[in-house]
A and B are shown apart, each in its own frame.
Chain A
Amino acid sequence: MAWHFDREAGQGLKLISPTLLYVLVMLAAPLLMVITFSFWTQDYLTIDTTPTFANYREAWTTPLYQVLMWRSLKISVIVTGVTVVLAFPIAYYLSFHVKKRKALWLFLITVPFWTSYLLRVFLWKVILGYNGVFNTAFLELGLIQEPLTFILYNLNAVVITLAHAWAPFAILPIFVALEKIDRSLLEAATDLGDSPMRRFFRITLPLAMPGIVAATLIVLIPTVGDFITPRLVGGTDGLMISNMIQIQFGKANNAPLGAALAVSSMVVIGLISAGIFLVGKKLGGRVR
């Protein structure tokens, strides 16, 4: 009933301070350092600390980086779209049609996620390869005459692999949002004359929007940062900006440029995320 402000605030802050301190030292400070770093330059083995936009100029104007950045965004957006669209019916099925053993279903959905990430990506390579499971099986069944080649070492493979990797992260938020929908709202819509389809678009979908937005962001943001999947199954035209960031910090030994690329991709993805969040909020708030 009453707010126990003064004493409460002190206790709460005291309690959270160790965790906050850790995050400040280990996350906030390093992130600030990366930003600072991106304004410095690599001078062979030493770092020139004169502030400059040179790295950003290079990051934004070099055709290779532009291509990689565009491709990263394109792949991330496609992966996110595919993942969320594929995940929604599953979440819907679990929430509305599975009556018993919901927890078991949820558990089963998360199990594949606990296979070593590297191995999961590698196994997709095995499945999709020229002599892979998919091709051998389909050849055997006579469904195809010769091995399909368009499924490995390109964008398709990256999309399939990532859609698989992020599935539970897309399903769970949508499922939670659907679970929260008061079922009497749906009965009310029917009672007021909505057909099941109209009802779905007027009630269920808008109310599930927070979950859809959460799923979208949870998949989109880390996807941009993935460099394993493109490297293992993407071939040369599946490479993404993160591979370049990794190269700059590794072999190319140009950390400041890597930092500029990292900051740039974060800013871009941050803006896109904010946009998605706002659009989702608007769509969710308005029940048509």
Chain B
Amino acid sequence: MKWISVKWLTVYAVVYMIFLYAPVILLPLFAFNTSTIIAFPLSGFTTEWFVGLWYTDTLHTALGNSMIVGVTTALVSTLLGAFAARASARFAFPGKTGIVGLIMLPLVLPEIIVAVALLVMLNQLGMPLSLWTVVGGHVLICTPFSIAILSSAYRGLDRELEEASFDLGESRWGTFRRVTLPLVLPGVISSLLITFTISLDEFIIAFFLTGTDVTLPVYIWSQLRFPAKLPSVMALGTILLAVSVLLLILAEALRRRSAARQGVDTTLAGV
């Protein structure tokens, strides 16, 4: 696009970023606003909505539920992702494209389809809905992300490194402990953080599959109906955003450290 000057592209990029950040910037603004009506002009600064969150028991329950779901999802999907990423980065086997394609399918499948399909199966099997059914659905959609992160970690791991360790007299377990694990560990942690964050934010599957125990997004959904609750929701959203961003920065830093350790160019890996 050289015929369009760089100046106009830059202007466009700035406008686009404003578009991207418009809702994100509003979130803290209204969270600290004294008025319960979510509209301009702002009426004054307050932290009462944040303080209020501290005393909302239903929120704490929802948060606890989300933590259970998020942590379990992160552990299981990272484990499943590690198996699949290792297999696809290291080995050739029949049907590989199809198998990997099937595992990555939830990435493009509408979440409502995943949710509805699981709901139908659980109903048919007569299994009650609970936080664990939510975990089941979340693992499904988080595993592809884990695979994407860990694949780049495993690809950077030259197979000759493991062979060299083995050749130098180390056992398979010793090779895993002394070579493989240190080299992919940052990727594993990065995967744990990202999958946790996705699970924490996920609404559609949680909405369909949860029973009486609600997760945080389902709680937010229920609160959106009550105008008086909106400022608290804004405050909650602000906290969630801050936590997500912190986790992401951590994940990105770890991923880059892993790439640097493996001597890989960091600009493109993992994108």
Contacts and interface: CB of A to CB of B under 8 A. Distances in A.
A234 B187 CA distance: 40
Contacts of A90: 12-13, 16
A195 interface: yes
Contact of B23 (A24, A89, A123, A179): A123
A200 B3 contact: yes
B87 interface: yes
A93 B118 contact: no
Given A20-B102, A114-B248, A30 B120 contact: yes
Contact of B92 (A5, A17, A249): A5
Most buried by A among B23, B100, B197: B23
Interface stretch (A63-71, A102-110, A149-157, A278-286): A102-110
B23 A116 contact: no
A20 B3 contact: no
A140 B85 CA distance: 54
A4 B159 CA distance: 13
A114 B110 contact: no
Contacts of B110: 221-226, 242
B13 A93 contact: yes
A115 B176 CA distance: 37
Interface in B131-164: 136-137, 139-140, 143
Interface in B166-203: 197, 201-203
Contacts of B30: 126
A112 B116 contact: no
Q: Is the interface of A mostly helix, strand, loop or mixed?
A: helix
B56 interface: no
A109 B88 CA distance: 29
Nearest to B26: A123
Contact of A103 (B106, B139, B267): B267
B114 interface: yes
Interface string A258-288: 1100100010000000000000000000000
Contacts of B221: 118
A126 B38 contact: yes
A273 B226 CA distance: 39
B42 to A, nearest CB: 11
Contacts of A176: 268, 271
Contacts of B241: 114-116
A245 interface: yes
B9 A26 contact: no
A111 interface: yes
A128 B233 CA distance: 19
A66 to B, nearest CB: 19
Contact of B113 (A11, A15, A111, A225): A225
Contacts of A246: 112
A108 B13 CA distance: 12
B111 interface: yes
A118 B92 contact: no
A30 B22 contact: no
A79 B13 CA distance: 19
B55 interface: no
Contacts of A29: 121
A252 interface: no
A92 B9 contact: yes
Interface residues of B, number: 88
B54 interface: no
- Interface size bracket, A side: 35 or more
Contacts of A93: 9-10, 12-13
Interface string A216-259: 01100111111110001000000000100110010000010011
Interface in A2-16: 3-5, 8-13, 15-16
Interface stretch (B57-65, B67-75, B76-84): B76-84
A141 interface: no
Contact of B117 (A31, A123, A196, A226): A31
B90 interface: yes
Contacts of B103: 16, 19-20, 23
B84 A16 contact: yes
B214 interface: no
Interface in B234-271: 234, 237, 240-241, 244-245, 248-249, 252, 256, 266-268, 271
A222 B248 CA distance: 23
B271 A172 contact: yes
A78 interface: no
B143 to A, nearest CB: 7
Given A31-B117, A86-B16, A114-B241, A16 B88 contact: yes
A181 interface: no
Interface string A94-135: 001100001100111111101111111011101101011100
B124 interface: yes
A196 B106 CA distance: 40
B113 A262 contact: yes
Top 7 nearest A-B pairs (CB, nearest first) are: A225-B110, A12-B91, A196-B2, A12-B93, A30-B117, A123-B23, A16-B87
